[in-house]
Amino acid sequence: MGITRTPTSLTQSEATRGGIGESTLRPDGTLKVTGEFAYSSDLWHEDMLWGYTLRSTVAHATIASIDTGEALATPGVYAVLTYDDLPTEVKHYGLEIRDTPVLAHGKVRHHGEPVALVAADHPETARRAAAKIRVVYEPLPVITDEASATAPDAVLVHDGREDHHIGHVAHPNIVHRQPILRGDADRAAARADVVVSGEYVFGMQDQAFLGPESGLAVPAEDGGVDLYVATQWLHSDLRQIAPVLGLPERKVRMTLSGVGGAFGGREDLSMQIHGCLLALRTGKPVKIVYNRFESFFGHVHRHPARLWYEHGATRDGKLTHVRCRIVLDGGAYASASPAVVGNAASLSIGPYVVDDVDIEALALYTNNPPCGAMRGFGAVQACFAYEAQMDKVAARLGMDPVEFRQINAMEQGTVMPTGQLVDSPAPVAELLRRVKSRPLPPERQWETTEGADVRALPGGLSNTTHGEGVVRGVGYAVGIKNVGFSEGFDDYSTARVRMQVINGEPVATVHTAMAEVGQGGVTVHAQIARSELGVTQVTILPADTRVGSAGSTSASRQTYMTGGAVKNTCEAVREKVFDLGRRKFGTYHPAWATAELLLEGGRVVTDGGEALAEIADVLEDEVVDLELEFRHRPTQAFDLRTGQGNGHVQYSFAAHRAVVEVDTELGLVKVVELACAQDVGKALNPLSVVGQIQGGTTQGLGVAVMEEIVVDPKTALVRNPSFTDYLIPTILDTPTIPVDVLELADEHAPYGLRGVGEAPTLSSTPAVLAAIRQATGLELNRTPVRPEHLTGS
């Protein structure tokens, strides 16, 4: 029997314990739960100094003067740096557009922008010294929304833009605009029996990772610096850090330290350059740790958005056309805004077949907090709006909302609004069927023999109802997310794999620069190495920049990309092992030349199961050591006028059914159950897959009913930078989340897998909103829903 490596080589893994498809436990799990895991904030170095960042107290102002004299004179202070102290001509950084000053230059553009740095021998000394820096601001008018940003006389957030988007935007306060035109929406609209339109608002969500930004920069004898930091993409950081320091990249050696969550919020730099600058200036190790308050200013947030939609459908429930306009608030700096625009536009109509569309998405420059990457990345905001629209159209047609979605559901072979053919499974209708067919939780589930269990009611322990005013609602939603970096980006990942014999046993060592941010990547890498190399012992080396880039831990891409890279390198290592074996033992057995060979249980075996040699005997003192890059299929940029192009690598789909109890008098919500069905192609670690889906679902719930950074529209100041007032779901807010995992292989992907992490964040929010709408009869065009939206007070 011939054997292909993908995906039928899965059978091979089953022979080696702890291989792919098994729910092996994460090495960091127990440590994290017991509080022993060392996060980046736990870094320590003898004689280290503490860095502190002075941030702007206003959102938009020119800086008339900065007086650091008194701060510098403070005993214990080693350095105070401002823009004028930056050592090279490169004084800005950015993911795509270098528009972000390392320290404010003559102007601040948002609340909490870094203005000056202090290094001192004690964090409190640094903080107090920073408070003595006198900054004189001269206020400028604040740009806070589309109207103020694009007014003819609007103040420009960035003067003299030279980036590659300025040529195709209508106003310099627009970062990027992506239209998508396909078919003829006007003509299709004429066929519609019903046309439904709506305007929607999505609030600003924060990643709210629990481990605040932190790192330690240690100056090195060669004039370089060693940086230990919690981040999402070491090499992207490196590319931005080195030029500002005036160092070649090889002299900035980065090592990932313990990351306490990311969700997109660590894609942009935080303390990296600041820490290195202070370390190089003082010649001492410098640690910077943000507290929770500062963390709210230390990273970008999810773009708040305004979305206008028009859907048309025929009487028999077929969508005729969609028109939409999505305005994302990018805040003061570009960050990932251009890519978020591309996602929002290309995924704007959801997982449905619509041939005639007129789509526009854009991101603004404003003086609001900068927004960038967050789990779901542009697709989240769109999903909230198009799923609300789908319910509205179904209601107008008198159709069941799930059936209406199923009629229009895309499938393999559907063409996206971008013209891209969906060439792998897209089981949208099936996912909806699965969540719908689950039994509903019992009515009045809070009733017990001893009375009402308030934990099962809206308000929970706050004891606001014992059932009074409580109405149940059920809602559905489904979403589509791209996997991997899109629009022609050269997205690759690198893995180095070494195989050698230690104490008579074959051992594999895997080295990548993948940021383990909690997603479980290191667990999966070991599983892949065990499956591909037939070994039990796998060592995962710490992630650092001594190995090639692994790309970002984002876009649901790491299992696909760095997992794919590990698999790819393991396969090459395996071939080397076979070559060695053939040279040593080939003459003793013809199967070395004729059979398909596998590594299994520490031995070289034929696909017929015959053992040919122990791996240890093949290797002896030889070390096989390879570092290879792995790429997914190339993608294309979207045409700037029509949005056409094969922009995405892979799509992932999840559907939710939300069951909520709403206290209609008090406007409080208890989500009772959030059932999810998702196609993951192949679950390399089923336990991790379910964990990702439950986590993503909960993050979606958060922005449905509580999570929002509130920015004062008059001043652009953040009003709730704390966990007292920026609320994230507790375990009592987290419902039962039954998960139904489908595994329909994508033949283009390693093991047929489909990125998991983001899709569940999309449909969770609109499903909860739909359920609340059903319970209350209210339109609710804004998320998160607050109590006063439900009570009308």
* Residue 473, φ and ψ in degrees, nearest 5: -140, 150
| CA 747 distance to own-chain centroid | 24
Q: How far apart are CA 726 and CA 743, in angstroms?
A: 37
CA distance 735 to 657: 12
Amino acid at 278: L
Rounded distance between C-alpha atoms, residue 209 and residue 299, angstroms? 10
Nearer to other proteins, 167 or 792 (CB): 792
Question: Applying CB under 8 A, which residues contact other proteins?
Answer: 127, 291, 293, 448, 450-455, 457-466, 468-469, 665-668, 670, 705-706, 710, 719-720, 722, 724-725, 727, 729-733, 786-788, 791, 793
Euclidean distance between CA atoms 610 and 606, whole angstroms: 5
Rounded to a whole number of angstroms, the minimum distance from the CB of residue 430 to other proteins is 33
Contact in structure between 382 and 344 (CB atoms under 8 Å): yes
Q: How far is the CB of 793 from other proteins (least distance, A)?
A: 4
The residue among 326, 338, 332 whose CA lies nearest residue 368 is 332
Residue closer to other proteins by CB (options 215, 702) is 702
State residue 547 phi and psi, 5-degree precision.
-120, 160
Neighbours of 140 (CB within 10 A): 17
Distance, in Å, from the CA atom of 239 to the CA atom of 255, rounded to the nearest integer, reads 14
Q: How far is the CB of 33 from other proteins (least distance, A)?
A: 15
Element (H, E) at 148: helix 146-150
Pairing of strands 537-540, 505-511: parallel
Q: DSSP secondary-structure letter at 385?
A: H
For every residue of 714-731, DSSP letters joined together read: TT--BS--STTTS----T
List of residues 6+ apart from 151 with CB closer than 8 A: none
Q: Which is nearer to other proteins, 29 or 460 (CB)?
A: 460
**Min. distance of Cβ 453 from other proteins in angstroms?**
5
| CB 662, CB 790: distance < 8 Å | yes
Residue with smaller CB distance to other proteins, 101 or 458: 458
We find the least distance from the C-beta atom of residue 408 to other proteins, in angstroms, to be 35
Closest separation between CB of residue 285 and other proteins, Å?
Answer: 24
- N-terminal to C-terminal alpha carbon distance within the chain: 71
DSSP H or E run through 76: none
Find out whether 253 and 226 touch, Cβ atoms under 8 Å: yes
Are the beta carbons of 438 and 665 closer than 8 angstroms? Answer: no
Name the residue nearer to other proteins (CB basis): 421 or 461.
Answer: 461
Residues 6+ apart with CB under 8 A from 497: 508, 509, 510, 511, 529, 533, 566, 569, 570, 573, 625, 626, 627
Nearer to other proteins, 90 or 710 (CB): 710
- Beta carbon nearer to other proteins, 579 or 725: 725
In the bound state with other proteins, the residue whose beta carbon lies nearer, of 56 and 348, is 56
Q: Which is nearer to other proteins, 541 or 706 (CB)?
A: 706
Cα-based angle 198, 201, 207 (whole degrees, multiple of 5): 145
Residue 328 CB, shortest distance to other proteins, in Å, is 23
CB atoms within 10 A of CB 610: 12
Task: Closer to other proteins by CB, 345 or 454: give it.
Answer: 454
Query: Measured from the CB of residue 77, what is the shortest distance to other proteins in angstroms?
Result: 18
Closest distance to other proteins from the beta carbon of 467 (Å): 9
Choose between 537 and 720: whose C-beta lies nearer to other proteins.
Answer: 720
What is the closest distance, in whole angstroms, from the C-beta atom of residue 104 to other proteins in the complex?
A: 22
Q: Please list the residues that pair with 656 across neighbouring strands.
A: 477, 676
Are 394 and 646 within 8 A, CB to CB?
A: no
Smallest separation, CB 698 to other proteins (Å): 13
CB of 517 to other proteins, least distance (A): 25
Name the residue nearer to other proteins (CB basis): 35 or 609.
35
